[in-house]
Amino acid sequence: MSETALAARPPDAINAWRDPDWQRLWLSLRNRPWQSLAVVPAGPGAPLDFAVRIAVMLSRTGMLHLGSPIQVADATRLPLGHLAAFLKEVERCARDGDPVVVALAALSDNPVSLALAQATDAAVLCVALEHMQYTDASKAVSQVGASRFIGSVVIDPSGLAALPGAI
C-alpha cells in the first residue's frame, strides 16, 4: 500500500474546528457564561444531522480553546418519555462543571425541543442556508424567548456534510 493511499481526507477537513470562522463563532458564544447550550435549528428543512454536526464542531472548537472536554448531547430524536432523565443528565454535567452542547430538532419536528431549549443556559439559532424560512426562524426565536439566544449562525449544510466524524 502506498503512503498516499492512507490519506483519505484532506487535512483541512480533519481539523475543520481549527477554521477561523468556527473559532470566531465559538468565542462570540462564550461572551455570556453558560454550561449548557442548545443548538436550535431555525426551522425544518435541514439534513437530519444538521444540529448534531454543528454541536460537535462547537464542542471540538471549544475543546481546542478551553483544553477540556465539552459534552455533546443529541436530543434530535428524544421522545417525551425520556425528557426528564435527559434534562437531569444535562443538569448534572453543568453542575459538575462539564459544559454540554445540546443538539435539537426543529421546534416543529420534535415537541421536546422547546422544553430543552428553555432549560439550557443559552441557545444559538442555526439557519441552514437556502433550506429554512424566515418565518420559521422568527417563530423559533419567539417561542424559545429572544433573551435566551446568545447568537445565530447561517450555515451551508453541504459544507457540514463534508466534515468527518461528526456523529
Domain spanning 25-161 has what CATH number?
3.40.50.300
pLDDT (tens digit per residue) in 9-48: 444 444 666 778 889 999 999 999 999 999 999 999 888 8
CA–CA distance, 132 with 51 (Å, rounded to integer):
13
**Do 102 and 90 touch, CB atoms closer than 8 A?**
yes
Q: For residue 97, what pLDDT is reported? A: 93
- Mean pLDDT, the chain, integer: 86
CA–CA distance, 30 with 129 (Å, rounded to integer):
24
CA–CA distance, 93 with 70 (Å, rounded to integer):
10
pTM: 0.85
- Quick one: DSSP state of residue 47? -
Share of the chain above pLDDT 70, in %: 84
Q: Per-residue pLDDT for 123 more than 60?
A: yes
pLDDT (tens digit per residue) in 68-117: 999 999 999 999 999 999 999 999 999 999 999 999 999 999 999 999 99
C-alpha cell at 131: 433550506
Q: For residue 165, what pLDDT is reported? A: 40
- Taking each continuous run of H as one helix and of E as one strand, the counts in the chain are 7, 5
**Do 22 and 61 touch, CB atoms closer than 8 A?**
yes
Where residue 157 falls among pLDDT bands split at 50, 70, 90? confident
Neighbouring-strand partners of residue 41 = 126
Mapped onto helix, strand or coil, the DSSP state of residue 149 is strand
**Do 128 and 42 touch, CB atoms closer than 8 A?**
yes
